[in-house]
Structure 1
Amino acid sequence: MNKVMSNKWVIALYVLPSLLLLGGLVYIPIVLTGYYGLMSWDGIGEMTFIGLDNYSRLLQDSTFWLSARHSFLLALFSTLSLIAYLAISLILSARLKGSELLRKIYLIPMLLSSVAIAQLWIKIYDPNNGMLNSLLTFLGVENPPAWLADRSTVLIAIFIAIIWQYAGFYIIIYSAALKGIPYSLIEAARIDGATPFQIAYKIKIPLITGVIKVTIILAIVGSLKYFDLIYVMTGGGPNGASEVIASYMYKEAFGRYNFGYGSAIGFALLVLALLTTWLIQKLTASKDELQY
């Protein structure tokens, strides 16, 4: 067996199907997207080569930069929400009664489709009969806002729905990482007189730093390319107040049949995601990894 696996041709034969699949589903579409961004094309007729005109237009497009600002705000909000997810996971890891049931409850939003979640939150935010405004009215708030129709509240309303949607995903990741910490370390710290806060801050969190870094990248990159729930809830409105890069790209390509410019937006989104990922890895890089 070792003789077979040392043969480079055999290794190449095993790797080839994965490379073909990865190339066909990832790398070739990326190259084509960048290529289409050099064209003026309505998606049906002939393509006309216009060079970097689409990318030059992108740099001067105020709507694109507004949508990019919203995407980065969502990324920032999602990253900060990881603190809450980690705190919940630390509490659930304390072997409290009912913690397993709570983990399953937090996971429920992940079982629903984005469209179903969007419809649920649209009902919650309904200005006339929604649960949120009904509660605010009951508490004495006069003229509660029309959450999804008000430019000043639409972003925060959508961000809350997105954070609720992915709470279970990150809590499960953190809980699995915390379960991997040997219980003997926790028990030894308790015998030495460490408080639950000290155990969490000085033992548990440092030992799952690698997982935390991964979730930061997942949250930021996922936020930059987020599309479906926002498009269903507001379509980028009102008047572009909740437009993100992905929804703007969709409108240009499939709404205005400007596939060349839509491809340029998509390629710019890819570049932004790659640069952001590289920057995060540089900022969070550390030479020493804690072992246990």
Structure 2
Amino acid sequence: MNKVMSNKWIIAFYVLPALLLITILIFIPLILTGYYGLFKWDGIGEMNFIGLQNYINALQDIKFWDSAWHSFLLAIFSTLSLAIYLMISLILASKIKGASLLRKIYLIPMLLSSVAIAQLWIKVFNPTNGMLNHILMFIGIENPPAWLADTSIVLYAIFVPILWQYAGFYILIYYAALKNIPESIVEAARIDGASPIQIAFRIKLPLIMGVIKVTIVLAVVGSLKYFDLIYVMTGGGPNGASEVMASYMYKLAFSSNNFGYGSAIGFLLLIITLIVTVVIRKVTASKEEIQY
């Protein structure tokens, strides 16, 4: 086996199909997106080369920076929510009764499409017939807000279904990592007199820190490019209060027929995401990984 894998031609034979697929489906579209951003183009007609003007306009576009700020807010909330998912996973991994049923319940949102989730939460947030406002009025709040029509709270209202949608995904990752910790390590800590809280924070969390770092990157990158649920629920409104970078790009390219400018926004989104990913990896990097 070692002799076979030391042959460069055999390695190239195995790697080439995947490399071609990645090139065709990922790298070429990315290059074309950056290229189209150099043109004034409606997506159908003649392409007029304007150089970097679309990129300059994007950097001077207040709406673009507002949408970028909303995406960063979602990334911050998604990262903070990981602490909640981690606590739930620690509880589920501690052999409580009904843990198996709870895991299945947490995974339900993952089985639904984003459009179905959006329609569900639109009904929940309905200002007149929605379940949420009925509950608020029941407990004595006479004038509950119009969640998806109020520019000051619509963004935070949308964050709730987004975080709910991916809760099961992160809980499952953390749960699998925690169950992979050898029971002998935990038992040794118990024999030494460690409390459940000490075991959780001084034994288990350090041992799965590599997984936690990966989920931070996934949460941030996923938030920066998030699109579908926000577009279905509000379309970026009202008055751009829930606009994110991906929805703003979509509107420019396909609703306003400004494909060149939309491509420039999309390429800037790629660059921002890459920069943020590199920064996160640098910040969370550690010299030593705990082995077990």
TM-score range for the pair, normalised by the shorter chain length: over 0.9
Q: Distance in 2 between matches of 1:50 and 1:233?
A: 35
Q: What secondary structure does 1:129 align onto?
A: coil
Q: 1:9-24 to 2 correspondence within 5 Å?
A: 9-24=9-24
Give the AA of the match of 2:134: S
For 2:136, the equivalent position in structure 1 comes to 136
**Aligned amino acid, residue 143 of structure 1:** N
Give the 3-state SS of the residue equivalent to 2:107 in structure 1.
helix
Q: Does structure 1 residue 152 correspond to structure 2 residue 152?
A: yes
Displacement after TM superposition at 1:191 (Å)? 1.4
Instruction: Spell out, residue by residue over 1:218-256, the C-alpha distance to the aligned partner (whole angstroms, 9 max, x if none).
Output: 000000000000000000000000000000000000000
Residue deviations 1:170-194, cap 9 Å, x none?
A: 0000000001100111111111111
- Which position in structure 2 is the counterpart of 1:283? 283
Alignment match, 1:218: 218
AA in 2 matched with 1:244: V
Q: Distance in 2 between matches of 1:32 and 1:67?
A: 23
Matching residue of 2:190: 190
1:96 is matched with which residue?
96
The AA in structure 2 aligned to 1:189 is A
SS class of match (1:170)? helix
What pairs up with 1:22-61 in 2 under 5 angstroms? 22-61=22-61
Secondary structure of the 1:249 match is helix
**Paired residues, what number?**
292
1:78 is aligned to 2:66: no
Question: Root-mean-square deviation (CA), in Å?
Answer: 0.7
Q: Equivalents in 2 of 1:2, 1:103: separation in Å? A: 42
Letter in 2 for 1:182: P
Change (3 A) 1:189 1:2: closer
- Stretches of structure 2 that go unaligned for 5 or more consecutive residues are none
Distance 1:127 1:6 in 2: 66
Shift, 1:4, TM fit: 3.4
1:254 aligned partner: 254
C-alpha separation in 2, matches of 1:17 and 1:149: 49
Q: Distance in 2 between matches of 1:138 and 1:286?
A: 51
Q: What residue in structure 1 maps to residue 67 of structure 2?
A: 67
3-state SS of paired residue (2:236): coil
TM-score by length of 1: 0.99
> Could you tell me how far apart the structure 2 residues matched to 1:133 and 1:154 are?
14
Structure 1 segments unaligned to the other structure (5+ residues): none
Amino acid at match of 1:24: I
Cα displacement (A) at 1:3: 3.5
Where does residue 4 of structure 1 map in the other structure? 4
- Paired with 1:68 and 1:25, the residues of 2 have a C-alpha distance of 26
Partner AA of 1:229 in structure 2? L
Cα distance in 2 between the residues matched to 1:259 and 1:85 = 39
Q: Which amino acid aligns with 2:267?
A: F
How far is 1:100 from its partner?
1.0
Per the alignment, residue 229 of structure 1 pairs with 229
Which residue of 2 is the match for residue 209 of structure 1? 209
% identical aligned pairs: 74
Please state how far the C-alpha of 1:2 moved relative to its aligned partner. Answer: 4.0
**Distance in 2 of aligned mates of 1:196 and 1:165:** 29
